[in-house]
């Protein structure tokens, strides 16, 4: 299952290419492309970790085929081959496919999501502070109203007009 399907999104041909690449990787290496002992680790790996290069397990695989599989196993659909025809063209001439940058095997989450995570944390903190201030203001207003009632004063809601008050103003 592709990462986009795991998130409940609709997939396209790139999701099928992802599944094909998983099968090819497993056929070549005898193992899944992601580390993980349990199902949860496997799910996190599929969504946030780029697959280990096939040459890690099988060094005899050419760099072109390794690059094709790495591209098809990208967690983000936009970084995979656009269509089966594009992948087939690469497979017909794997030597023309440039090798993937080894840096791409790092977790992409750290690079791409760090600003969004920081923004989310700031928004959450501001929401918490704003909610706390609002709640404190509300409790103070209720305490003032309770003291006024105990003192025997009549309190009208803001903007409310009583019939006797309106008649007195005329």
Q: Please determine, for residue 109, whether its predicted confidence score (pLDDT) is greater than 50.
A: no
Q: How far apart are the first and last CA of the chain?
A: 76
Which structure tokens are listed for 47?
């969504």
94-99: average pLDDT: 77
Exposure of 132 by Cβ count < 10 A (0-12 exposed, 13-18 middle, 19+ buried)? Answer: exposed
CATH of span 3-107: 1.10.510.10
DSSP assignment of 48-86 = HSPPPPHHHH-TTS-HHHHHHHHHHT-SSGGGS-SSHHH
Report pLDDT for 157: 54
Each residue's pLDDT tens digit, 17-68: 988 988 898 888 888 887 766 777 777 767 767 778 888 888 888 888 888 9
Q: Please determine, for residue 106, whether its predicted confidence score (pLDDT) is greater than 80.
A: no
Percent of residues, the chain, with pLDDT higher than 70 = 75
Higher pLDDT among residues 114 and 29, named by residue: 29
Report pLDDT for 135: 92
94-106: average pLDDT: 64
DSSP assignment of 112-133 = HSHHHHHHHHHHHHHHHHHHHH
CA–CA separation, 67 vs 62, rounded Å? 9
DSSP annotation of 95 reads G
Break the chain into its structural domains and give their ranges: 3-107, 117-159
In the structure, what pLDDT confidence band is assigned to residue 80 with cuts at 50, 70 and 90?
confident
Report pLDDT for 133: 92
Report pLDDT for 136: 92
Which structure tokens are listed for 22?
């998983």
């Amino acid at each position: 299952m592709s990462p986009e399907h795991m998130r409940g999104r609709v997939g396209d041909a790139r999701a099928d290419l992802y599944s094909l690449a998983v099968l090819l990787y497993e056929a070549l290496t005898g193992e899944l492309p992601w580390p993980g002992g349990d199902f949860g680790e496997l799910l996190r790996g599929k969504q946030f970790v780029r697959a280990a290069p096939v040459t890690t397990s099988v060094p005899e695989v050419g760099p072109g085929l390794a690059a094709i599989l790495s591209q098809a196993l990208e967690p983000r659909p936009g970084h995979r081959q656009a269509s089966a025809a594009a992948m087939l063209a690469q497979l017909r001439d794997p030597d023309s496919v440039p090798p993937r940058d080894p840096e791409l095997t790092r977790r992409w989450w750290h690079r791409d999501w760090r600003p969004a995570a920081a923004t989310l944390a700031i928004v959450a903190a501001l929401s918490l502070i704003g909610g706390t201030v609002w709640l404190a203001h509300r409790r103070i207003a209720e305490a003032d109203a309770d003291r006024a009632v105990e003192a025997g004063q009549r309190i009208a809601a803001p903007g409310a007009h009583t019939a006797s008050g309106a008649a007195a103003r005329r």
